Structure 1
Amino acid sequence: MATQERGVRTQVKVLEAAADVIDRRGYASASIAEILEVAGVTKGAMYFHFPSKQHIARGVMQAQTGFEDIPEDESPLQSIINLTHHLALRLQDNVVLRASIRLTIEHGSFDDVEPDSPYHWWLQRFTRRFLLAKGAGELRDGVTPEEAAETIVGSFSGIQLLSQVLDGRRDLVRRITLWWKHLLPGLACEEVLPRLCPEGTLDRVVKPR
């Protein structure tokens, strides 16, 4: 049991160190030597769990799937809004998520990491959430859950990248709020729209300037 726990701790150290290096330098410039230095583990210990740099990158990318767990709102559509705000906040303070997103965008730098997997995962999750919104009668006629999910995943990716380039993601929550203000009239039916909060309803969501 102690050996197993040490193995888990080693994996966590390597993934967190790799995330730190990749977030700062990108995948192509991230070296195994620097990852080892930041992690404080031996090369043998790292290679026991991760046979290559590509395997480390895969582990970092898969960490995206751990960021969907938030308190659910009574409104499925409000829960979708809240999730995007939650992700915006985590992109500001969680290096693993930032590195995971960067790897997904920089997929041309490597070959063996199945770069589209996170996109597929998020498309499935948002489609499921929009199906709930449709079942609750919250979506406008003609809005399909699949197309709505593709719109959210694609445009969120672009907005967070724009925010990163222009302001180091410091204004990301404000940009997400403005995005929803423009988007919701095309998604939500008229009777639901006044009850939705583009700023999100999670306690940690910061109101836009």
Structure 2
Amino acid sequence: MAQQERAVRTREAILLAAAQVFDEVGYEAAKVSEILTRSGVTKGALYFHFESKEQLARGVLHENARAVPPVPPQQLKLQEAVDRGMVLAYRMGHDPLLRGSVRLALERPVHDTLDRRVPFEAWTRESQALLEEARLAGELQPHVDTAELANLVVGAFAGIQLMSQAMCDRQDLCERAAVLYRVLMASVAMPGVLVQLDVAADRGARVHAIMDDYVRTP
């Protein structure tokens, strides 16, 4: 068991170091030697877990798909959908692994075969599932297509993330995400639901603060 735990910690250290380097310089400019130095593991340990830079990038991308665990249940399913996005915005400012994976997902280098659809597809599926529950609960206006809305939310979030990164290294991402959800919800939520939604800029931080307790609850 101790050996297995060490292997898990080693893999996590490698992925964290890789994500930091990918976030800072991008996939093509990233050097395995720099990742090795930052991870603090031996060369043999790194290549035991990941045979190449491309495998490292795949590992980071797959971590992106699990970046935001389920948020605590809310009376309104639309609030849960908002909370997932707001928690993601909050974590973008604090989680190097998430930042690195997002940069990888949005890059388009010429010479690699990475499947960058993984995190987008995962978040879109999860978003549509929540939105469909909201539709069945009568929280969405009748004209709303949940598949279209899920794709719009994920694409729009990717866009504001890029803009926030360019403008201020993501320091205002929570504020931009709050504006995004406020505008979107005004066009899709039933009026009685809209007035109940919490889309404040600090919503992600508040939900994140209670998520560990929720995830640990049997």
TM-score, with length taken from structure 1: 0.92
The partner residue of 1:204 within 203, 206, 213 is 206
Partner residue, 1:62? 62
Equivalent residue number for residue 83 of structure 1: 84
Local SS of the residue matching 1:192: helix
Unaligned runs of 5+ in 2: 208-218
- Between the aligned partners of 1:176 and 1:108, the Cα distance in structure 2 is 27
The one-letter amino acid of 2:4's match is: Q
* In structure 2, distance between residues paired with 1:202 and 1:182: 17
Supply the AA of the counterpart residue of 1:38: R
Q: Which amino acid in the other structure matches residue 69 of structure 1?
A: P
Shift of 1:120: 0.9
Shift in alpha-carbon separation, 1:27–1:78, aligned structure 2, 3 A:
same
| Structure 1 residue runs without a partner (length 5+) | none
CA contact 1:54–1:110 (8 Å) conserved in 2: no
Tell me, in whole angstroms, the C-alpha distance in 2 between the residues paired with 1:77 and 1:110: 40
Contact 1:27 1:109 in 2 (8 A): no
Q: Is the 8 A contact 1:82 1:202 kept in 2?
A: yes
Match of 2:147 in 1: 146
Partner of 2:216: none
Contact 1:163 1:172 in 2 (8 A): yes
> Which residue does the alignment assign to 1:131?
132
Q: Matched residues in 2 for 1:202 and 1:102: separation?
A: 21
CA contact (8 A) 2:86 2:174 kept: yes
Paired with 1:114 and 1:192, the residues of 2 have a C-alpha distance of: 38
* 1:96 aligned partner: 97
Amino acid at match of 2:37: E
Query: Match of 2:11?
Result: 11
2:215 corresponds to which residue? none
1:76·1:133 contact (CA, 8 Å) conserved in 2?
yes
Q: 1:110 Cα deviation (Å)?
A: 4.8
Check conservation: 1:67, 1:87, Cα contact below 8 A: yes
Is 1:50 matched with 2:65?
no
RMSD: 1.7
Sequence identity percentage = 39
Cα deviation digits, residues 32-81 of structure 1 (max 9, x gap): 00000001112111111111111110111111213133212210001111
Q: Name the aligned partner's letter for residue 204 of structure 1.
A: R
1:162: which partner in 2? 163
Indicate the larger mover: 181-190 or 89-98: 181-190
Alignment-derived partner of residue 187 in structure 1: 188
Q: Which residue of 2 aligns with 1:173?
A: 174
Distance 2:110 2:69 in 1: 27
Q: How many residues align structurally?
A: 206
- The letter for the 2-side match of 1:22 is F
- Separation in structure 2 between the aligned mates of residue 203 and residue 155 of structure 1, nearest angstrom: 20
The AA in structure 2 aligned to 1:175 is: R
